[in-house]
């Protein structure tokens, strides 16, 4: 990566129409570029409501193609107008007929340089994503001029395997376009702290910068909790937005932060993949560890007698 990279995150609420969202983004992208941002990141479904909040089939109307759909054209225009990289998100209707939740990267020329489809797809009250799109099995990394970037989406942030794959592939920055908030049927459950913690853990364990850019506002009973942030490879918060307000935040990523952390904690080099075979097995339900009194080991339940 370059010695320094300036990254911006734009946190917004759904404004009711796509043109209204474009107007808001135009203003904030202009401001971010004026402040020196080289990479500008937008939330999941940047120019759409969070339509999977319900199972209403009207949500399919938000699907669009790349590169000819309204979102991709807007991202391209913003990138070329301001000579920046723009990371956006859209509901992709692929040429093969498939439907995906896709993050795109457009270069300062306006060219599409990467498109990454979400891998892990949630399903539950307020988050009916499996009704609308499928998961991918690809893990592209974009070698941008200032830094190598991976762009998994939202729910992917809970899975350490994904961050590890990207770091092993050479990513230096992982950006998660996100739409996450409350649990409609569990009003006392607040996952914001856990959400932030798991991604800071990914940064620490993999020696990468991490950014998560969320939305705010309330849609279909889900109160999106914002809190977009950027952290260093040591997990240090470099910039963070509030829970409820539209905001633009910027952070400077220093190459020295990455090289120093990887020098003192060379975790990727010290891995022992030859002993990790069990991690490839599917989870088969509750196998709680039991202490076996006659041996200083843990076994799983049920275990051989």
Question: Which pLDDT does position 285 carry in this prediction?
Answer: 76
* Assigned domain for 195 exists: yes
> Smallest Cα–Cα separation from 211: which of 253, 246, 243?
253
pLDDT in tens, 83-140: 999 999 999 999 999 999 999 999 999 999 999 999 999 999 999 999 999 999 999 9
Question: Which pLDDT does position 132 carry in this prediction?
Answer: 98
* Assigned domain for 80 exists: yes
Phi-psi region of 188 (alpha: psi -120 to 50; beta: other; left: phi over 0): alpha
* Assigned domain for 217 exists: yes
* Assigned domain for 246 exists: yes
The C-alpha atoms of residue 298 and residue 305 are separated, in whole angstroms, by 13
* pLDDT band at 303; cut points 50, 70, 90: very low
> Smallest Cα–Cα separation from 193: which of 205, 206, 180, 208?
180
* pLDDT band at 288; cut points 50, 70, 90: low
* Assigned domain for 77 exists: yes
Is 305's pLDDT higher than 50? Answer: no
Domain that holds residue 264: 4-300
* pLDDT band at 38; cut points 50, 70, 90: very high
How far, in Å, are 146, 208, 231 from residue 254 at the CA level? 11, 11, 11
Tokens of 236: 């240090």
CATH assignment at residue 52: 3.60.110.10
Phi-psi region of 110 (alpha: psi -120 to 50; beta: other; left: phi over 0): left
Question: Which pLDDT does position 284 carry in this prediction?
Answer: 79
Q: Residue 267: which residues within 8 A CB-CB, separation 6 or more? A: 205, 206, 207
* Assigned domain for 305 exists: no
* Assigned domain for 266 exists: yes
| Mean predicted lDDT score pLDDT of the chain | 95
Cα of first residue to Cα of last residue in the chain, in angstroms, is: 53
Distance of CA 252 to the CA centre of its chain: 19
- Work out how many domains the chain is built from and give that number: 1
* Assigned domain for 22 exists: yes
């Amino acid at each position: 990566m370059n010695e320094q990279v300036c990254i911006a995150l734009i946190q917004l609420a759904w404004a009711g129409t796509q043109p209204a969202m474009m107007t808001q983004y135009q203003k904030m992208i202009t401001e971010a570029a004026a402040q020196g941002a080289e990479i500008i990141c937008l939330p999941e479904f940047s120019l759409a409501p969070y339509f999977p909040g319900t199972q209403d089939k009207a949500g399919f109307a938000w699907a669009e193609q790349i590169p000819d759909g309204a979102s991709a054209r807007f991202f391209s225009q913003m990138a070329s107008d301001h000579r920046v990289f723009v990371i956006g998100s859209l509901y992709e209707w692929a040429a093969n007929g498939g439907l995906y939740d896709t993050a795109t990267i457009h270069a300062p020329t306006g060219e599409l340089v990467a498109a990454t489809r979400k891998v892990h797809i949630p399903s539950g009250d307020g988050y009916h994503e499996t009704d609308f799109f499928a998961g991918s099995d690809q893990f592209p990394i974009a070698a941008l001029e200032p830094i190598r970037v991976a762009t998994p989406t939202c729910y992917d942030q809970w899975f350490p395997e994904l961050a590890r794959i990207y770091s092993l592939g050479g990513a230096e920055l992982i950006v998660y376009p996100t739409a996450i908030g409350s649990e409609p049927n569990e009003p006392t459950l607040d996952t914001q702290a856990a959400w932030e913690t798991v991604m800071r853990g990914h940064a620490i364990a993999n020696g990468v910068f991490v950014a998560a850019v969320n939305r705010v506002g309330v849609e279909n009973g889900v109160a999106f909790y914002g809190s977009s942030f950027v952290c260093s490879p040591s997990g240090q918060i470099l910039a963070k937005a509030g829970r409820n307000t539209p905001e633009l935040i910027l952070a400077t990523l220093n190459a020295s932060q990455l090289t120093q952390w990887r020098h003192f904690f060379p975790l990727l080099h010290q891995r022992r993949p030859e002993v990790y075979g069990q991690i490839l097995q599917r989870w088969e339900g509750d196998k709680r560890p039991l202490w076996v009194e006659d041996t200083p080991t843990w076994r799983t339940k049920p275990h051989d007698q």
